[in-house]
Structure 1
């Protein structure tokens, strides 16, 4: 019995060694086959990363040499296809794991002389830019900036693209973004943003419990109607019904609409119920006071309350996702805020120091002057009554239109 046991153990050891050798040979052969499929002169993609949210995402792939590439759009489901010359992908799969706008990302060899990256989107998307940039330390990087679009516009991209000549030249924008702070087309365009919406109801009235999202939408619709009655002005709503928009989506929609001015309307609550009156906010990393900081923090939670996570941008993509407004844009934002305060003075109740500033995410469009207007505070019974009054709504929006007209004259005269 002991000899049988020793024999059985020896056979087991031999089998284990054979299995190990077989697996090693199998892996060696597999790697050899894969290597043979990639030409010796293939590009090496040695690093990759992706960052973004539900409205915008950036994909970056680093290569040892400058890559030529072409872009195509494919429907059902919506995909962006990036064709490359022969490429060896040498980065961990987790570095390019799906996130942001994309629910699936795949890449690999397509044939002896070509490779492909396929970005499957959560919803219709488009590339606003695709370019190759030289790295300071090693090689080049392919940078792809994607943002949301409509089904119709995506279908148009699919229908009109040319598969024979789809290469995007370096630094070329696919669908040009607005540049500057004044209307280059002769029409001054304003994006009016009704705060909150859908699952994010915002604050609620102290007495009537009316949700903030209903109040802001009512004001926004009246304001857009009055603005569109003005010669040379076009206004549009970021949301026209009770739907949820993330903070990033609001900014993207304003830019896609080529807005020259962005006005976000809110009606928050405070713990101090005696405080009432309108307030105008502009963007700053440093809040003007504790109240401004608290309001910005609460407004910036809208995405999280609706189940969205806020991405902290990497330094290299900060200009695309959550960039600070340029100094010139910020100067125009402050000018608009001052115009609103002057228009309201003596007509609409204002809090002390009515122009304040804080880090509101919804004001971070880098090329659109932006303000956030707290119409009043739903925590105050007097303000709540006014916020529900059609007469007061008509008065406030008329004064706001006057402020816009004066600001427009200043902005256009300044050549911004």
Structure 2
């Protein structure tokens, strides 16, 4: 899978240009002139048979494949500008949900999540008879789990899998911090009560934090993304490992139904969640991979399993240590939730050899938290607290860990 290298050796060189563009690009990741245009979407049918028609301004090149848990049909397209009527996207027939958007600079994607197993009876492009353009016709029919699994094997793509325990490069002489702006591309994340989009505010915050970290002269900074692109959770981890990160901080801003809840939270990984809200948050964040599909895990022999377990145990202890340090520094500046250190099964925190935390800066569902996230002064004060925590952690661990 194509991915542009995203190490930010000197954030200040890119900062002013990228920062100015962040809030100008909200939904489309491609140039409007060159992109394919998907301008109409229709769906009809019932729980046994569903027909989907997508209209384009020109003939689209596409490929499709299936994913399971849940059952999904994925359509890959070239760069595409989507302008669908949200009303037409509501659940209907075999389709429980529709997602669409940019995957990276070369691809866009349509994902149809089904209510159960299905077969693809038709997936073809036809030229319109009475108007300009082309239409993609998809016909789905309910099927058995066995039939779906057989079709899935036939259509299966083999995405890149996470490198296991190859030694990452640690040639640098500075403590390396990997910043992971949550969500991106087709995965917008949460949306605030006043319209703030999580993928945009996390990128803005991470770029600003990267600049401030680099300006200290003490740290090397790696960004998993520098623009509005989709990355699988395992890709985010792999970028950090390949670039020899000593610390991984995934930046998020959540939203929940109870608008009165506000404050920052620091999460670490655990197979058992600290509480129901932590479990729900991890489940929401892990759904990011629905855009690309579930990535199959590689098999490991028993010796490697033992080695991974030993390394994970050590790394987990470092993660908890940094989480507590970060909470201590944030508490003087930022409102925190009750019991601010929580833990659950976050896939993005599963690097076996990098201490990792997920920082929820606040709740976009709360007007006060949303306003703070949009306030440059609040962001700057929060970043200063984070930089203090990073400095304390780096010094306590002899600079670069390992």
Residue of structure 1 in register with 2:182 after alignment: 195
- Contact kept? 2:159, 2:295, Cα under 8 Å: no
> CA shift at 1:415, angstroms?
6.2
Q: How does 1:171-320 map to 2 (within 5 A)?
A: 177-178=167-168, 185-206=172-193, 208-304=194-290, 306-311=291-296, 314=299, 316=301
Which of 336, 339, 346 aligns to 1:360? It is 346
> CA shift at 1:284, angstroms?
0.3
Which of 152, 158, 177 aligns to 1:100? It is 158
Residue of structure 1 in register with 2:376 after alignment: 390
Residue of structure 1 in register with 2:335 after alignment: 349
SS of residue matched to 1:191: strand
Unmatched tracts of structure 1, length 5 or more: 1-93, 103-144, 148-172
| Residues 283/319 of structure 1: CA separation in 2 closer, same or farther (3 Å cut) | farther
Residue of structure 2 in register with 1:116 after alignment: none
SS of residue matched to 2:320: helix
| Residues 319/303 of structure 1: CA separation in 2 closer, same or farther (3 Å cut) | farther
> CA shift at 1:272, angstroms?
1.6
TM-score normalised by L of structure 2: 0.57
CA distance in 1, matches of 2:401, 2:349: 22
> CA shift at 1:178, angstroms?
2.3
CA distance in 2, matches of 1:185, 1:286: 35
> CA shift at 1:412, angstroms?
1.5
CA distance in 2, matches of 1:287, 1:253: 26
Residue of structure 2 in register with 1:76 after alignment: none
Residue of structure 2 in register with 1:335 after alignment: 321
Residue of structure 1 in register with 2:97 after alignment: none
CA distance in 2, matches of 1:308, 1:97: 13
| Residues 275/301 of structure 1: CA separation in 2 closer, same or farther (3 Å cut) | same
- Contact kept? 1:186, 1:232, Cα under 8 Å: no
| Residues 301/411 of structure 1: CA separation in 2 closer, same or farther (3 Å cut) | same
> CA shift at 1:315, angstroms?
5.6
> CA shift at 1:307, angstroms?
3.8
CA RMSD of superposed structures (Å): 2.9
Residue of structure 1 in register with 2:102 after alignment: none
CA distance in 1, matches of 2:297, 2:353: 20
Which of 363, 369, 389 aligns to 1:377? It is 363
| Residues 226/318 of structure 1: CA separation in 2 closer, same or farther (3 Å cut) | farther
| Residues 236/375 of structure 1: CA separation in 2 closer, same or farther (3 Å cut) | same
> CA shift at 1:343, angstroms?
0.3
CA distance in 2, matches of 1:408, 1:363: 19
SS of residue matched to 1:301: helix
| Residues 317/252 of structure 1: CA separation in 2 closer, same or farther (3 Å cut) | farther
> CA shift at 1:274, angstroms?
1.1
CA displacement 1:271-316 (0-9 Å, x = unmatched): 2211100000001000000000000000000010x14224355464
The count of aligned residue pairs is 248
CA distance in 2, matches of 1:95, 1:209: 41
